[in-house]
Amino acid sequence: MKFFVDTANLDEIRELNDLGVLDGVTTNPSLMAKVGITGRQNVLNHYLAICEMVEGDISAEVIATDFEGMMREGMELANLHDNIVVKVPMTRDGIKAINAFSEQGIRTNCTLVFTVGQALLAAKAGADYVSPFVGRLDDVSTNGLALIQDIVTVFNNYDMFTEVLAASIRHPVHIVECAKMGADVVTCPASSIDKLFNHPLTDIGLAQFLADYKKVE
């Protein structure tokens, strides 16, 4: 399972990339705003900086909601760097744009997916990734992980080319459960990936080894 980090923060991206566990990056307009990136040219420069840092797929989201606008913005993003994947929302115009991008060899990630039906539409339109939002479903008392399982099952039934990119990940259990279900990718906040390191027995065991080593030093 590939690990993408869900952030626009260059320090967080650099730190994970240096660990050697990072396969890509996803961003969205909220994450860009969180790090204070505004204005089209600054946004484009920021995507370029991420692409130059990480060897992997970088999702860059369109802001337009109409077909023509999505096509215009998506082309501009795709022309920035070979690793850009154009992130398009799950709407009628979005599906039309995904289809048009795929015919031109431009890779896409269909975002804001909350049902298996939406995932199927995106796959049929030619999306390279679908992004079902686990945490946001959990937030409304719906089992987000069950959606991942269902989409993985349906895509496997038909040997579909589209990858399941589990998004809106909130904690390490989400990550591990997605891996057990066979999701192709998880995109997580850096803090969730960091928590995978932790176990009290690891800390206790290391302290004990060092203490014992000191006795015979």
What are the strands, taking DSSP E only, across the chain?
2-6, 24-26, 57-61, 84-89, 108-113, 129-132, 163-166, 185-188
Which CB, 54 or 167, lies closer to ligand E4P? Answer: 167
Considering only 17, 108, 118, 187, the residue that binds ligand E4P (CB under 6 A) is 187
Q: How far is the CB of 74 from ligand E4P (least distance, A)?
A: 16
> CB–CB of 113/144 below 8 Å?
no
Considering only 25, 50, 127, 167, the residue that binds ligand E4P (CB under 6 A) is 167
Question: Binding to ligand E4P by residue 129, rule CB under 6 A?
Answer: no
Q: Helix %, strand %, coil % for the chain, to 5?
A: 55, 20, 30
| Binding piece for ligand E4P, criterion CB under 6 A, among 49-57, 64-72, 132-140, 142-150 | 132-140
Nearest Cα residue to 121 out of 140, 138, 104, 97: 97
Considering only 12, 24, 25, 28, the residue that binds ligand E4P (CB under 6 A) is 28
Which CB, 106 or 186, lies closer to ligand E4P? Answer: 186
